[in-house]
Structure 1
Amino acid sequence: MFKFFPKVRRSALVLALLLIAPAAVGGGYLGVQYLRGNIHEVAAGELYRSGQLTAGQIRDVANRYGIRSIVNLRGKSDAKWYQDEVAEARALGLVHVDFKMSATRELPMERASELESLLKDVPKPVLIHCQGGSDRSGLASAIYMHTVYGMDFEKAEGQISIYYGHFSIPWLSQAYPMDVTWEKLEEVYRDRAREARL
């Protein structure tokens, strides 16, 4: 095939394939994750994260992981997904809590503190979810992993990553405020640790 292309075109074709192949594989991975609900175990027996699940997926995840509570980061809604979720949680005997936040705006520090307390107090194992399972769920998971689980900043920050579908590009990514919020929270947590040592 390559013998029909001049050397320059062949090099350009190889370069294009080298650039396209990883994007196609990554896109395929993320596509499958979204179709499956982007469900991930964060801390075994404690915390699980996902995108918006159907009632059947909620039942499956609850049975598989012994889920006792759901934290909905999308907030209350009149939409069918919300009504189905609340009904399924009730049918399964799960605690259902709404904590509305936006992926496109920074989470104020006082709201982050409320979320931290909520995640500490809800019955475990807990499933947290947003719409896609990548941005708000990532920030909430990072908060939990650092403040409840005791994970260091860098490892906890891994919850806000491309692995889960979060794109972190300043001014280009609509969900970049999740990264900004985490950076501010790191300072809050450092200050808290310094005060605790005094």
Structure 2
Amino acid sequence: MDTTLVQPNTASRPQNRLKRVAVGSAILLMLLLGLLRYVGVFGGNIRTVEEGRVYRSANIYGKLLDDTLQSKGIRTVLNLRGGVVNGVGDAKYLSEAQSCKQLGVKMIDLPFSAVRYPPPKVLENILKAFDTEAYPILFHCRGGSDRSGLTGTLYLHLYKNIPLDEAQSAQLTWHYGHLSWGQAHAMDDFLNLYRKTANGMELRKWITAKYPALYDALPDNLKVK
């Protein structure tokens, strides 16, 4: 009787482990790409805030911007991203400005940070633009998720009389790429500051009457210097 022990093939174990890691990584990558596609990263994150009047997007440019401006009849673009340093615009900014000029669209720069509380004056100017500029309006930041989400929240709440919680849920949402627990939580923090300090005051009045002093009292790392 042959009593020779059969030794397990341990050489194949590292290979099997690598295969499992590779398959798992591929699945995670596919899920991530699917999520990014769902939130609109690959299509400019172009969203409707109010049909026929107000739209939001990422910082699109070139043919995609031209097609969007023309198909939606945009007359005013609010640039929340910025893109100008020391008086010189970057490539995306210059391309956007050229498209707007060629198509007769007014472009207004209203930049603020996604990771700090928005300056009171910028908020006042955004609301002034909604009050006075020609519609339809398209506003955008870099990815179309955070600053655009806050601006969309303000529009729905102040101009469409949608309750603040509902407006925030519709605009500052992971569906559009915003994560309230992520780096850009300052957008949510701003709205929470309003809730804590308003004492019944309407949001627009609070922005002009109470928020400037609250903003000045914030630590330097929470506001634009």
Q: TM-score range by the shorter chain?
A: 0.7 to 0.9
Cα deviation, residue 189, structure 1? 9.3
Equivalent residue, structure 2, for 1:4: none
Residue number among 160, 182, 187 corresponding to 1:178 in the alignment: 187
If the length of structure 2 is used for normalisation, what is the TM-score?
0.69
23-32 or 78-87, which deviates more: 23-32
Compare 27-36 and 67-76 and name the one that shifted more: 27-36
Map 1:83-94; keep pairs closer than 5 Å: 83-94=94-105
SS in 2 for 1:191: coil
1:11-69 CA-to-partner distances (Å, cap 9, x unmatched) read: xxxxxx9xxx8996465132451111000011011110000102211111112211111
> What aligned pairs does 1:17-166 form with structure 2 within 5 A after superposition?
25=31, 28-31=34-37, 33-77=40-84, 78-158=89-169, 159-166=171-178
Identify unmatched segments of 5+ residues in structure 2.
Answer: 1-23, 206-225
Give the C-alpha shift of residue 76 in structure 1.
4.4
Whole-angstrom CA distance in 2 between matches of 1:23 and 1:176: 25
CA RMSD of aligned residues (A): 2.6
Paired with 1:104 and 1:58, the residues of 2 have a C-alpha distance of 26
Structure with more helix by fraction? 1
Give the aligned residue type for 2:156: M
Task: Please say which structure displays the higher CA radius of gyration.
Answer: 2
Q: Is the counterpart of residue 191 in structure 1 residue 201 in structure 2?
A: yes
Contact 1:109–1:185 (Cα < 8 Å) also in 2:
no
Identity over aligned pairs, percent: 30
**Using a 3 Å threshold, how does the CA distance of structure 1 residues 185 and 96 change in structure 2: closer, same or farther?**
farther
CA 1:31–1:150 in structure 2 vs 1: closer, same or farther (change >3 Å)? Answer: same
TM-score with structure 1 length normalisation? 0.78
Aligned residue type for 1:152: P
Comparing 24-33 and 114-123, the one that deviates more = 24-33
Report how many aligned residue pairs link the two structures: 174
State the distance in 2 between where 1:93 and 1:70 align: 11
Q: Which runs of 5+ in 1 are unaligned?
A: 1-16
Amino acid at match of 1:60: D
